[in-house]
């Protein structure tokens, strides 16, 4: 994770908690900093990209490794 600034482990949390926790963490970051979020909630596949689009953040990447989803978000 050397290319990211901050991380959030949201595994075990159900909708809407992964997005709510990501939003709270992003509020504390400076513009341009990144947050890596790990989640295993199936709804996060839709919720995280939608949240980024609505909030104006950039979804740099999203990967799926078994049940674990990893998102890298750049704060706008």
Count how many domains the chain has.
1
The per-residue pLDDT for 2 is 41
**pLDDT tens for each residue of the chain, 76 residues long:** 445 589 999 999 999 999 999 999 999 999 999 999 999 999 999 999 999 999 999 999 999 999 999 999 999 9
CA 45 to chain centre: 10
Residue of 15, 17, 29, 60 marked catalytic: 15
CATH of the domain at 51: 3.30.110.40
In a domain, 41, yes or no: yes
Distance CA 74, CA 26 (A): 9
The predicted model scores a pTM of 0.93
Query: In what order do the strands lie in the sheet containing 34-39?
Result: 6-9, 34-39, 68-74, 58-65
Looking at the chain, how many residues does it have? 76
For residue 19, the enclosing domain spans 6-74
The per-residue pLDDT for 3 is 55
15 assigned to active site: yes
In a domain, 1, yes or no: no
């Amino acid at each position: 994770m050397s290319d990211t600034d901050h991380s959030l482990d949201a595994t075990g949390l159900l909708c809407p908690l992964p997005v709510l926790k990501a939003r709270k963490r992003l509020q504390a970051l400076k513009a341009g900093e990144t947050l890596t979020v790990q989640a295993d909630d199936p709804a996060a596949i839709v919720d995280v990209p939608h949240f980024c689009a609505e909030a104006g953040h950039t979804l740099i990447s999203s990967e799926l490794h078994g049940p674990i989803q990893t998102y890298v978000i750049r704060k706008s």
